[in-house]
Every structure is written in C-alpha cells, then in structure tokens.
Structure 1
C-alpha cells in the first residue's frame, strides 16, 4: 500500500467520505510524499498508574518515579530519518495517531510463555536547598498465566546540573535528602546511593490496571474497534483521577489509561491500532512534534495537559503536559514523559518546560524464559 492509500485507510470508519478541508489535505499529501518505503521493523513496550499490582508495590521509592512499557515484540527502535531533501511537515495529533494505528496493526503476532517488559524511569525533585536532583529506577516484569515476577532497582539520585551539584556540595553533600510532600506537610528521605535489586512474585491473575484490575484473559478479550474499546474503558470511569480522588476530565482519563495499554500491555495488533484510533478522536489531544526520548531515540510525541494536584490537595496545583512518544515507522510507543507547564505540587521549584519525569521503554516482548 502506498503512503497516500495508507493515510486514506487510516481514517476512522465514522468519518466516511466526509470532505477534507484543503489545509489538512495539503498536510497529509506533504507527509505522504516525504516518507520513503515503510520500514519493516518490530518493537513494543508503562507509568505509575500503568504498573501491575505487584509492580506498583515495588515502585515505592522515596519519590514518585514513573515507569513505563510497550506492547508486544522486541526492543523499540527510533524511526529512520526522513530524506534530506524532504521538507519538514508538522502533523496534527490525529494524523500522527492514525498513521501509528495503521502501522501498529501490521506488526506480526508473537508468542511465548512470559510477557516481559523492561523500563527505565527518571524523576526530578527540588531539594530544600533549592537545587534539583534526578532519581533513576529500572523495572522488569514477567507475566504469565501463573502470575507475575518483578525485579526493580532504585539506581540512586544525583544533581541534575553542574550548578545543582555545586549547591548540593555546599549543603554538605547529604547522603539522604528530605523532601516535603505537598498537601501533607511531612517529608520523605530520598537516598543518594543506589539500592540492591528487589524481587517479588505475585500469584494473582489480575496483574494489569486498565481502569480496573485486569487479567491476561481480560486483555485478550478487549474489543478491537475504537468505539467498542472506548465503551469498555468508560464503564470504569468515575470522574476522578487514576491515582487520587481529584476530579479528572473524561478525555484526560482515557488518555492516561489508553497510553498505558499501548505502552505496556500484551494486546493484539488490532487492539493496539484501535487504541491509537480512539486517541485520535479525543479533541484535547495535541501534537508536540519530533522529540528525543531519555535514551536518545527520536520519536513523535502527542500530548494532553493535565492538572497536577499532589495527593489530591486543593492548593499548590501545577499543570503538566503528559506526552506519549511514538515511533511512527512501526506504531510502537517509545515511552512517556511529563513536562512542566505550570509549577506546583510535586513540581514546585521546576521551571516551565522542564521534563519532570520519563518512563522509557527498553524492551517489551514475549519470551519463554525469565531471569527473576
């Protein structure tokens, strides 16, 4: 299928033959002409709210650390560079997601006894002395019909910049840093040194969270059309956030839950394609454009702004841009990141535009062995 036919085929069925406005038509045509042959690559690969049940318990480090994944192949790779002669075209969020849907649906089915994901999380926080520290964590998970095995390791904290390092040194280079918890008036100690890996085994069948706790069988039975998938998810929407009782708009809730499905869960290629198409229809989703993830891979980001209210507190609210980074060539998610739009709550002291935390997919694949 040529790129123009691919974009035409990617249009949701409910749009039918509705005429396209000329600006959109020019943008789609320019995009299609700028693409070379479609790369035949495979890859796949989730966030604090996307962790499995046991994984969420493991991820209790000193501060909130985002962890992520993708759904079903080998380690994700960055898209091929566009030809040097092509003119850059900024796609709308809908165009990015519809092309990703078409390419995700082409991914070959894979199998194995265990669904294995590995993710790297990074999180920034401001210390009492006014300097910024970055924490890192690695999480691995193996899921089968027999349960879930997890291995997590807190990799330590370090000053974010040379200036922050100088301030940390001036404060006596503390080995532990007390950080206030917004809305609670208490503090947590963040260790600078790394911890040993922590392993756990969860024998329950409900090992993922998708608006509610779900099993592998639940994921296998998900609707593979966008309308059916949206209706299935919204049965569990209660007007509040995924991690607190703070109010959350329907679009924002769907974005968070669906991004977790795309990045972390072993669903079929058709379900993943339906998830992309469903996101494309959300009016609040915007296009960020080309970005580089925490591992240096290039991808295209789509985003939605969400209010950040630490622990459901009424005061000290911030605003975040929640991004999903996609490899357009494969329809694979490379990870998630949250960018500060307005500082507040856990992001107090961080400048607008700062990448507060990242959840980078290292691998997500079916395998017949596990090492934990």
Structure 2
C-alpha cells in the first residue's frame, strides 16, 4: 500500500508545522515528568501532609561537580558567633530550635518553649553522643575525615557513612574546612546518587542527592551549592526536616 501511494503521489514532504507540534508535545511530556515529583513537596506544604517521591537519577559526574562547588562555598563560610543555632520544621508542622555555645551549654525550643539541655550532649552520630570538642577536632581533609567518621560509627552501622557525613553539613557546628571535606567525601562515595535540580517544601531551589540507609529506605538531601546550605532532608518513610536556619549567631534563646 505504501509503495502504491508513493507511485501515485510521490514521496510525502514533511510539514514543518507538524514537526514543530510533535516536538512541542514530546518536550512538554518530558518536562511534566521531570517536574511532577518537584510539585509534591509544594502540595504537601499547602495541605500539611508530607509526601515523598523519588525523582529520576541523573549522571553522578554532574552531581560530583555540584558537590565540589558546595565544598568551595563551605570552605569560605564564616564561623563567628556565640551560639550555634539550628531551626527546623519537622514533617511540615512541628518547629524546633537548638542553641549551643562553644563551651557546650545548650538550649532547645519546641513551638516557642525554651528548655535548658542537661545530662547529655546535644549532638550525636549514629546514636552515639558527640561533644563539641570532638566535632571541632575532625580533620579537614576529605580522605582523613571519611576514615575518622567511619571509625566513630558503632559496630553494625554499615551503610551509615553517607548519612553521618551529611549530618556534618547542617546538624552539627562543623568548622568550614570540615564541611568542605564532608562535601568532597560525599562526592566520592559510590552510594550517593544525584537526582537533579529540585525544590524543597518552601519553594527554595536546590540540588537533590540520595543515599540508602540500613533500614532499607533512602534519604534525600536538597542542598544549595551556592551557599553550601542543606535545605531539607526527607526519607522514604515520609519523615522530613526543613532547615530554616543553620549557622552561628550572637542572638541566643529568649
């Protein structure tokens, strides 16, 4: 039949307008697939329900460049101030704050109520307490940091190295050089996957990286490489932490 049509009417000529319409449809569908998972945190923020979806994986070489860019930014971050201050939003609703002095005194606040922390360190790694002095003594070389953190993890904690290094980026008062080393170490871990550009539940743009946990679920961090800040952490169970503030300040708890 196709040969008969060509004999009668000749070879069909492509219609540029039709080609353009087809191309627009293809690219629109690709864009929708790419953006669908990004819209989930925004919808969750509006509804108060935390949802989780894994975006498609991207080439890790591009992700490695992004992590190294974040490392450069982290190395130049100021670390002056009286208090290490972290303010987070948990699962879309519960807000907590932490203040820690360089001498180890600490306060927490939940929904505005401030309490003094006593009896244990406000920092931990894989369930073990971590003092401010131990954090400050961490090396600023990526290979040495990876080795030191691996040695600090308790027995049976295989698969927690990426999570422990990630915690040095925002949950702990790591020195700028240590944060930079943590980013470089993460860039070399084979279990870290780059998921591409992302937007957190507050609409802040960043880059998403994921790694598995021993429980079998994945944790996804969205980072801003320009500022080296971690914007959010979400795991496969739907548990989320949105980082509102993480850094040194002279303003203590009220």
TM-score by length of 1: 0.49
Q: CA deviation at 1:146?
A: 4.9
Q: Does 1:360 align with 2:239?
A: no
Structure 1 residue 96: deviation in Å? 2.2
Q: Quick check: 1:146–1:203 contact (8 Å CA) kept in 2? A: no
Q: Please report how far the alpha carbon of residue 114 of structure 1 lies from its aligned counterpart in structure 2 after TM superposition.
A: 1.2
Alpha-carbon separation, structure 2, partners of 1:234 and 1:267: 17
By how many angstroms is 1:307 displaced? 5.1
Aligned to 2:66: 96
- What's the offset of the Cα at 1:213? 1.4
Deviation above 6 Å: which 4+ runs of structure 1? Answer: none
Aligned to 2:251: 369
- Name the counterpart of 2:156: 240
Please say if 1:257 is aligned against 2:164: yes
Q: Give SS of 1:364's match.
A: strand
Question: Aligned residue for 1:283?
Answer: 190
Deviation of 1:115 after TM superposition, in Å, equals 1.0
- The partner residue of 1:208 within 103, 123, 130 is 123
Deviation of 1:136 after TM superposition, in Å, equals 2.0
Q: 1:141 aligns with which of 73, 98, 110?
A: 98
Within-5 A mapping of 1:334-353: 334-339=231-236, 347=237
Whether 1:333 and 2:230 are equivalent positions in the alignment is yes
Q: Alpha-carbon deviation of 1:202? A: 1.7
Q: How many residues are treated as equivalent by the alignment? A: 196
Q: What SS does structure 1 have at the residue aligned with 2:81?
A: coil
Corresponding residue SS for 1:151: strand
Mapped partners of 2:170, 2:232: distance in 1: 7
Q: CA deviation at 1:90?
A: 8.2
| Cα distance change, pair 206–297 in 1 and its aligned pair in 2 (3 A) | same
Give the Cα–Cα distance (whole angstroms) in 2 for the partners of residues 215 and 100 of structure 1.
Answer: 26
Structure showing greater radius of gyration is 2
Shift in alpha-carbon separation, 1:285–1:360, aligned structure 2, 3 A: same
Q: Which runs of 5+ in 2 are unaligned?
A: 1-49, 51-58
8 Å CA contact retained: 1:263, 1:334 = no
Measured against aligned partners, the alpha-carbon deviations of 1:82-105 in whole angstroms (never above 9, x if no partner) come to xxxxxxx98533222122112221
CA RMSD of superposed structures (Å): 2.4
Q: Could you list the runs of 5+ residues in structure 1 that have no partner in the other structure?
A: 1-64, 66-88, 123-134, 154-196, 242-248, 309-318, 340-346, 348-355
Structure 1 contact 288–301 (Cα < 8 Å) conserved: yes
Distance 1:98 1:117 in 2: 24
Structure 1 contact 90–289 (Cα < 8 Å) conserved: no
Cα separation, partners in 2 of 1:90 and 1:208, compared to 1, 3 Å: closer
Relative to its length, the structure with more helix (as a share) is 2
Aligned to 2:22: none
